[in-house]
Amino acid sequence: MEGELKKEIITGEKLAKEFKEHSVAEFFKKNRQMLGLYGKVRTLTTVVHEYITNSLDACEEARILPEIEVKIDELGPEYYQITVKDNGPGLTKETVGKALGKLLAGTKFHRLVQMRGQQGIGASGCTMLSQMTTGKAIKVISGTGKGKAFACEITIDPKRNEPKIENMRDLDRNFRGLMIQARFKGVLYRESVMGPLEYIRRTAIANPHAKITFRSPKGEKIVFNRTSTYIPKPPKAMKPHPAGITVDDVVTMAHHTKAKKVSSFLKNDFERIGDTALEKIQKLVSFDLNKDPKKLTWGEAEQIVSAFRKIKFLAPSADGLRPIGEERIRKSLESIVQPEYVVTLTRPPKVYAGGYPFQVEIGIAYGGKAGISTNGNNRTQSEEQGVKVEIMRFANRAPLLFDAGNCAITKAVHSIDWKRYGVRDLENTPLTIFVNFISVHVPYTGAGKQAIADEDEVMEELRLALMVCARKTARYISAKRAEIERRMKRDMFYKYIPEIAEALSKITKKDKEKIAKKLEWLVLTKLKLEKKEEKSSKELKVEGKDSKKVAKGEEKIAEKSR
Amino acid sequence: MAKKKSFVKKSERKISKALSKSVAKKEKEGPKEIAARIKEVARGIVKDIESGRNPRFKTKQRGRGNVLFDEKLGIIKLGDKDTTRTFLNIAHARKFLQTMLVMSKTYEYLTNNKTASIREVYYELKHTIGNTKENTFEDQRESDACIVDLEHSIDTIREKLNVHANPKGTLYGDITLVDRQHHNDTFNCLKLGRGGWSIMSRIEPHEIEIKKVNAKYVLVIETSAMYERLVEEDFARKNKAILVGTGGQAARGTRRLIHRLHFEHKLPVYVFTDGDPYGWYIYSVIKQGSMALAAHSRLLACPEAKYIGMTLEDVEDYGLQNVTEKMKPGDIKRAKELLAYEWFKNKPWQKELKKALQLKIRIEQQALANKSLEFVAKEYLPKKIKNREFLP
């Protein structure tokens, strides 16, 4: 017996050791899907995403207006080099290794903070991917603006998950920011809706304070200028709200807390738990809350969670939410999408699943260059053919390019009866629908983190916000359509005028030009009259129907959150 | 000129005074008067435009709702309902333009002494509008409709607009005509060989003058085969008749000529068609006018015309039972319609139509050949005319 046991322990240790040695590389290979690294185009987009979000987050924290340059070069078939340069705070020689050469070293995990980079592999993941596909190190130049900048090359030691820094040298110039250059094989650059360019375009829209320059493999230079100089406040870390917590969360948190008693642990580490709530909890659990949290058992944690469910807590504070703002979305859409008409809306924060605050922002852009052109980019103003609707989804300002069909945003957009809003055929209308979902805890549907789950409150809020914007857009669309119709009518009358004038002039010997001029005047007079009639009758209709619906929606939501 | 003979009843020569009077007035209108009227309409439209009003073109409403039968005059007439076409109306604008084009074109014909067929009018006016891809007219039906509108608007017939449809019909008999538009050619229609004279589309007095007529009546024949038979039998000479072959439904020119022979020369008109709904309707159009040209009956109809045959009585009288044909469903339907027309609402015709519907048979003119080829010329027609065996 003893021998057998001993043998088993040895085997176990050996296994553990082997696992550790291969862990990082294996983890990568086995979890490529989860990490968003499947598909040649998607992988490249994910890499761009990692670098850009890092830059944006760093600049935000350092209160710097970001200027980011992204360059993609094609080195061979399915072989690309990405260069990303920012003007952020930069990394020091001490921090550069941990930031770019150690997996899962980021501080975002296990923190309830609204961050862009909640999905993906992190910049270190990119280092790993580069190394795995090309065997090459990533090249880094960094400077803090104080003293000399430095350059180095970084790889990851897959056995120890530790950075390997080589070729470290000081540069003879003052530079603030970070430049990373990395090479990847087995990836593909495409200018599709899932490609890097579209990702950058959308990032620029949702981050109007950033200036982003992109150089494509074809050598094109595309600049997305900033339309705002307001740097968003860094999001505040949020304590978890009792309503959304699981037993496992409670156990893990209890074992890591600095509190000496379960009671103080609950009070300090959770939001909205005060003395009154503590008293109620004490009545609902079978053990003493003065207990050492480190000794909290699973069963006891279960009791706490079931007590949480029975007690009404105040809704969580929405302090951690950082919306872009209506005006800034408007300017951004005007500058980058270049539509004829934009309406934007930032809704007040709401709560889903009892404990998670969230907020919805909508922008609807119509006409002009809004929508996706299906036949190149050359289209005229009034032309509605060859244009498809474009739905831009964002979670905390980060574009969601994949898995659109499963996303609550897409579902909400399609659940609306657009015909009521003057959009006869949503799919083929020059519309860009911008939706930013903001939450410290985005309810993603899967590990790919590209689709938002259709929680009831989320759907209801999305629909309501979309309807409010659609109503305003409808007014513009119908006015525009009426204008187009008037113009078409005018042209139809006008084309007959010269011939009519000539015919009448031949018989009566009156001046042809005079007759024609007078006829044109008659046409204009008539159409102006029609314009007035249309406007008043249509507006009344839309107004009457919709305000009722919106009011209803508000009531429904109010009821739910009560 | 016609002379009294026992078998032509005096009353038949008496033409309704009321109709005669209004016909005479209409007949006087020459190209100048018509052109002046077009100008008047155009001036009205220009005046509308100059004073900031939606220009309008007024014409008569056609269609069944505005067609009525004038029992006193014995013709189909158009009521007084008007219809207006305005330019500032999406649905009318194109039609308005087309009407103006047709107006201007016919005005040009009238002032330049030109004439044209309706197809020529169509081709003369068809072109692309400005820098569009739209044609002024896509189909001759469009220009035809405008011509009809104009006829009705200025209360005249297209022949007086110097426009005409395709000619059809032949004339044979002792009648002398002068073509005043063509070298004043003078010819007697008995001397043109067996073919006779092809009746032109426009038989207006200023174009074709009826110089001399030596006949007792006009015999209108539906089928060309029967017309040829009667020419061959020298029916016109032997009976002092003028033969008019319509070749089916009578064309406007043919109707106009019959009308003029009747009104200007007081000749009775006898119509000889197949004994079937189609033939009966041909007769009724010659007599009372048609619904499509209700407005023009005054210049086209002969209310005193009489129907010779074929009748169902003929079938019995001459034992033609075995050469009748069965009525087709279309014939039956048409016969029922005729039964309901006001101008067929007299005893003899109601009796005839009901009998036909009951027996479901029809009888062709050529069926008379069953007796012998000469039978129609030697016996049938002379006997019927002599005994006044007519349907009204």
CATH 2.60.40.10 is the classification of domain A320-562: no
The alpha-carbon gap from A509 to the nearest alpha carbon of chain B, in Å, equals 10
Q: Do B88 and A523 make contact, defined as CB atoms within 8 angstroms?
A: yes
Chain A residues with CB-CB distance to B88 below 8 A: 493, 522-523, 526
Fold of A27-224: Heat Shock Protein 90 (3.30.565)
Q: Which residue intervals of A31-138 are DSSP H helices?
A: 40-61, 93-101, 122-134
Q: Do B129 and A499 make contact, defined as CB atoms within 8 angstroms?
A: yes
Q: Do B46 and A515 make contact, defined as CB atoms within 8 angstroms?
A: yes
Active site residue B123: yes
Per residue in A142-193, pLDDT tens?
A: 998 888 899 999 998 887 788 999 999 999 888 899 999 999 999 999 988 8
Could you tell me if B210 and B265 are in contact, meaning their C-beta atoms sit under 8 angstroms apart?
Answer: yes
Q: Do A504 and B107 make contact, defined as CB atoms within 8 angstroms?
A: no
pLDDT of residue A531: 54
The alpha-carbon gap from A363 to the nearest alpha carbon of chain B, in Å, equals 38
Write the CATH number of the domain with boundaries A242-310: 1.10.8.50
pLDDT by residue for chain A (562 residues), tens digit each? 444 444 444 455 555 555 454 566 666 666 666 666 778 998 999 899 989 999 998 999 899 999 999 999 999 999 999 999 999 999 999 889 888 888 765 443 334 455 554 445 678 889 988 998 999 999 999 998 888 899 999 998 887 788 999 999 999 888 899 999 999 999 999 988 889 999 999 999 999 999 999 999 999 999 999 999 999 887 777 788 887 788 888 888 888 888 899 999 999 888 888 899 999 999 999 999 999 999 999 999 999 999 988 888 887 777 778 899 999 999 999 999 999 999 999 999 888 876 788 999 999 999 888 988 776 544 444 445 678 899 999 999 999 988 899 999 999 999 999 998 888 888 888 899 999 999 888 888 876 688 999 989 999 999 999 999 999 999 888 888 888 888 888 888 999 999 999 999 999 999 999 999 999 999 988 887 655 555 544 444 444 444 445 545 544 544 444 3
pLDDT of residue A508: 94
B103–A contact, CB cutoff 8 A: yes
The alpha-carbon gap from B54 to the nearest alpha carbon of chain A, in Å, equals 7
Buried b (16+ CB within 10 A) or exposed e, A252-280: ebbeebebeebbbbbbebbbbbeeebbee
The alpha-carbon gap from A430 to the nearest alpha carbon of chain B, in Å, equals 28
Chain B residues with CB-CB distance to A523 below 8 A: 88
Chain B residues with CB-CB distance to A521 below 8 A: 52
Q: CA–CA separation, A200 vs A53, rounded Å? A: 10
pLDDT of residue A243: 78
The beta-strand segments (E) located in A304-458 are: 341-346, 350-352, 356-366, 372-373, 387-388, 390-395, 398-400, 431-439
What are A454's two structure tokens?
């259709």
Nearest chain A residue to B88, by CA: A523
pLDDT of residue A315: 77
Chain A residues with CB-CB distance to B55 below 8 A: 519, 522
Helix H or strand E encompassing B326:
strand B325-326
Chain B residues with CB-CB distance to A503 below 8 A: 97, 100-101, 103-104
Nearest chain A residue to B50, by CA: A518
Could you tell me if A72 and A82 are in contact, meaning their C-beta atoms sit under 8 angstroms apart?
Answer: yes
End-to-end CA distance of chain A: 62
Q: Do A499 and B90 make contact, defined as CB atoms within 8 angstroms?
A: no
Q: Do B87 and A493 make contact, defined as CB atoms within 8 angstroms?
A: yes
B122, B123, B227, B281: which is the annotated catalytic residue?
B123
Q: CA–CA separation, A348 vs A360, rounded Å? A: 8
What are B329's two structure tokens?
């469903």
Hey, which residues 71-110 in chain A have their CB within 8 Å of chain B? none
Q: Which of B88, B103, B130 is facing A507, going by the closest CB pair? A: B103
pLDDT of residue A110: 39
Burial (CB < 10 A; 0-12, 13-18, 19+), residue B7, is: middle
Q: CA–CA separation, A552 vs B328, rounded Å? A: 68
List CB contacts of A355: < 8 A, sequence separation 6 or more. A240, A241, A242, A243, A244, A245, A313, A316
Q: Do A503 and B101 make contact, defined as CB atoms within 8 angstroms?
A: yes
What are A220's two structure tokens?
């094109």
A524–B contact, CB cutoff 8 A: no
B124–A contact, CB cutoff 8 A: no
pLDDT of residue A552: 53
Q: Do A521 and B52 make contact, defined as CB atoms within 8 angstroms?
A: yes
Q: CA–CA separation, B65 vs A221, rounded Å? A: 73
Q: Do B52 and A525 make contact, defined as CB atoms within 8 angstroms?
A: yes
Check whether the bond before B310 is cis (ω within 30° of 0).
yes
Domain ranges of chain A: 27-224, 242-310, 320-562
Report residues of chain B scoring pLDDT below 50: 1-7
Question: In order of start, what are the domains of chain B with their CATH numbers?
Answer: 24-164 (1.10.10.10), 167-387 (3.40.1360.10)
Q: What's chain A's length in residues? A: 562
What are A69's two structure tokens?
């340059």
B126–A contact, CB cutoff 8 A: no
Complex-level ipTM beyond the 0.85 threshold: no
Q: Which of B46, B132, B134 is facing A508, going by the closest CB pair? A: B46
Identify from A508, A512, A519 which residue to disrupt to test chain B contact, counting B C-beta atoms within 10 A and taking the largest count. Answer: A508
Q: CA–CA separation, B265 vs A73, rounded Å? A: 103
B165–A contact, CB cutoff 8 A: no
Angle between helices A122-134 and A40-61 in degrees, nearest 10: 140
The alpha-carbon gap from B164 to the nearest alpha carbon of chain A, in Å, equals 21
Residue type, A82: I
Per residue in A330-381, pLDDT tens?
A: 999 999 999 999 999 999 988 887 678 899 999 999 988 898 877 654 444 4
